[in-house]
Chain A
Amino acid sequence: MSITLDHLTRRYGAVAAVDDLSATIPTGCFFTVLGPSGCGKSTLLRMIAGLEPVDKGRIVLAGRTVAEAGLHIPPEARGVGVVFQSYALWPHLDVLGNVAFPIETAGVPRRKARAEAAQHLESVALTGFADRRPADLSGGQRQRVALARCLASGARIVLMDEPLANLDPHLRAAMEEEMTAFHDRARATTLFITHDQREAMALSDLVAVMRAGRFEQVAAPQALHDCPANAFVAGFIGRGAIVPGEVTANKPGQAKVRLAPGLTVVARTGQHATGAVQVLLRPGDLAIDPSGQAARVASCAYRGDHWEARIALDGLSQTLVASLPHRADPGERLNVILNGGWVLPQK
């Protein structure tokens, strides 16, 4: 039940919403497409579902080509499940009717379909709500009905279009756990669309960072955070600063980089690095230490469990991001040592 995208392109006038994109999503994977609004991630989902035509390229679902030049299998014949951002529950059907609908379309008589649907309602803990209308449910309950409907479709490929975006922040954390449970239960190949990196990090086996119709990087969440492929991914995921420097020494997996006169850092590398490079310094790479480089606090903001400060190191034109256990006033002096960093791959 893998998804293969092969040189996929979709244009709106002169703009390519999805631009020559290729990727393979393995069976059973929870695959998240993460990107800013307008990057083409929803268009990509709609193309896989069959709700948008393909201009160029090919989509293969579980070994079956469903879209390419001159071929467009309609959505109703693709056998994929979709969870919509607005949940798309039919307001004129009760909860059980909503869940039973995909079972009916598979040719099961209505009464039998409703009995089968009741089991799926049970699996999302909504048994008592079978005869309610969607309008009478809370946001989280609607979300669970949408998941139950998706389960009921029996689809081995599930597409989710920002399903948590309409929920309150505190409800979102609870629903994230339900999403994981849902994925474990259905074991379906899941393509999850979001613009929220925290969500992507928490849920996914693999995350693709998307920009302007292309995947910038596809990797496991931690690899994405620690070893971003380029400056865009580094800036989009997590906090940190990118500083130019000069490689002065090399060994496999590591490079010694001079950032300023008298300021060097030993950073991780993915390839043999020489000459001018860019180094990503995350807050975790910085430590406050009296023996370190003198620095001045430029600004400071409270982030809930720590203070995040922008710090100007003497001799360095960029400010770095550090996390402090206490509040610091702008202008305050402190000393910083650099414990590590990541050398962005060279072109």
Chain B
Amino acid sequence: MPAPLREAPARWPGLRRITGEPVLLALIVLAAFALFVLPLGAIGRLAVSGTGGGPDAFVSAVNSRSVQRAFWHSLESAALSAVAATLVGGALALLIGLTDVRGRTALSFAILMLMMIPPHVTAIAWIQMLGPSSVLLQALNLAPAPGSTHPLYSREGVIGLLALQQVPLVYLTLRAALRALPRDLAEAARVNGAGPWRVLTRVVLPLLRPAVLAGFALAFVSALGNFGVPALLGIPGRYVTVPVLMWQRLASSGPSVLADMAVLATLIGAVAVAAVWAQMRLMRHASVALIGPPQQPLRLTLGRWRSPVELALWAVLAFAVVAPLLAMLATALVPTYGVPLRADTVTLRHFHEVILNQTVTARAFANSAALAVLAGLGVAALALAVGALSRGRLRGGARAVTTLAEVAYAVPGLVISVGFIIAFLRPLPGLGISLYGTHAIILGAYLSAFLAVGLKPVGVAFAVLDPALHEAARVSGAGFWRRLWRIDLPLIAPAAASGAVLVMLTAWNEVTLSSILWTRGTETLGTVIFNYEDGGYSTLSSAMSILSVAATLALMGLLHRLGRNLPPGIIPWRG
């Protein structure tokens, strides 16, 4: 049967060229301009040439005692916590990634909880666990005397909890590197007579060195931008970091100190970007070093040590993850702070209060839920668009947007929100309304800071996709939009959905961005929890934290299910 003769579709190829990718690129560039260039540029412009800015402002900032101290505290806490996180996260990655311990996915999930539970909630939980009314410490007769200073309100407390938060970052980086390690390198060493210890010290660890350094840099940058831990522990402990200093100055003086803020934001942002730049160089070095496809990773048998090692791992995680949450739950269930938890004292009053009685908390739940969903969907849409462009002739534009998103993700959240205030405080030209004080400014900050979170899974999914699938659609006569809609979107949708849920998790839990962007009516979950704890209402903040952690766990469960059919590397704890 001769195929019916169909004319080659020559319909206005010139028009097709401009209505396809260029239109999408124009939309992306517009979004990138509003999300990254305007806010970050506004900081730079105000810091360098605005009234109250300029070189003099930098000199006076650098000479200020409080700024010097805050910078020292920021660098010290970030560096020391990153060292501790690298040691702990590295040990966990080696134990779980290289040996035959059972339940690797469950262990990874538990470790990731350290990161998924937001810093301010972690801080509250640990304050409850180690404070004077701690059920745990009272049972052990170790509780500090009532009225004494809380042991976590100190430099060591800040560094310790920061380290705990960064452990998963190092762990993930090293697990990924271990997965990419060709197994035959280690097997060649064993065949040549090396025992497990020598394989580890002479082959595996030297090959992992770039990944260890990269994990350290990631942990450093993340700790540098942390707000929840140093705010809740460092303010009472007189250990103020740069983000906390910025928040204090804005909270006490309002937008009049914006030029001052811009100077601080430029300085701390520069430190973060330099650290990320160093990390990216190290990763590039790491990726050229290995030849050979990744294989089933090495499994060293622990023999009779397996059960004790597993027990120890779960015990450590129970202490670091579960115990603080239980302590927080105990606080949420007693009538007033300090009352011991017994059968006759237990009450659900605070849950009733935050869910039904307080309009602020109900509003915060609604605001955060809506903002998280919108941020997730917005990031997924942007990530899909960037991913679709990243393989065409306009890939340069996609790469530029990706770089901007990575910069925005790296700089401390306070810097992003300061940028959004400076850029959008003035009424929008033409509309005459200011975005400040609306939900839109918080959503914008979320999209800006979290786009990188959603870009990563989409990028991974596009990278493992056979390019011929896309090319087959082209030679079948499909134009850009048809390819996007019929081929790319369905294939990438699961990864984009995972990215969206990751962003929802991050947005649902964040406090840093909204801490200076919220106003009456646009409170977020994080700010309300933070303000209750800051104001001494520990029972209410604990109850809200418990609810937010429950929602977080539900989202993580959803993500776990979504991840069943995805390539490895998208769901952090899978694979």
Contacts and interface: CB of A to CB of B under 8 A. Distances in A.
A278 B301 CA distance: 64
Given A79-B7, A90-B487, A102-B477, A185 B472 contact: no
Interface string B438-481: 00000000000000000000000000001011011111111100
A82 B13 contact: no
A121 B466 CA distance: 24
A123 B4 CA distance: 14
Contact of B10 (A77, A80, A152, A154): A77
B284 interface: no
A48 B466 CA distance: 20
Nearest to A75: B474
B17 interface: yes
B291 interface: no
Nearest to A157: B8
Interface in B1-40: 1-11, 13, 16-17
Contacts of A90: 469, 472-473, 487, 491
A91 interface: yes
A84 interface: yes
B477 to A, nearest CB: 4
Contact of B474 (A64, A76, A85, A154): A76
Nearest to A66: B8
A123 B2 CA distance: 11
A186 B3 contact: yes
Nearest to B465: A91
A215 to B, nearest CB: 24
B467 to A, nearest CB: 9
Contacts of A50: 474-475
Given A74-B17, A77-B13, A101 B473 contact: yes
A286 to B, nearest CB: 45
Contacts of B50: none
A102 B476 contact: yes
B2 A79 contact: no
Given A76-B477, A79-B8, A101-B473, A186 B466 contact: no
A81 B3 CA distance: 12
A151 B491 contact: no
Nearest to A116: B4
B477 A153 contact: yes
Given A102-B477, A105-B477, A88 B482 contact: no
A77 B8 contact: yes
A25 to B, nearest CB: 17
A74 B5 CA distance: 20
B476 A101 contact: yes
A78 interface: yes
A78 B3 contact: no
Contacts of A92: 490-491
B486 interface: yes
26 contacts: A50-B474, A75-B474, A75-B475, A76-B474, A76-B478, A77-B477, A79-B6, A79-B10, A81-B475, A84-B471, A85-B468, A87-B468, A89-B472, A90-B469, A90-B472, A101-B476, A101-B478, A101-B486, A106-B6, A106-B9, A123-B1, A153-B475, A155-B6, A185-B3, A187-B2, A188-B3
Which 8 residue pairs of A and B lie closest in terms of their CB atoms, listed nearest first?
A: A79-B8, A154-B6, A88-B468, A105-B477, A88-B472, A102-B476, A75-B474, A84-B468
Interface of A: 49-51, 64, 73-82, 84-92, 101-102, 105-106, 119-120, 123, 149, 151-156, 185-188
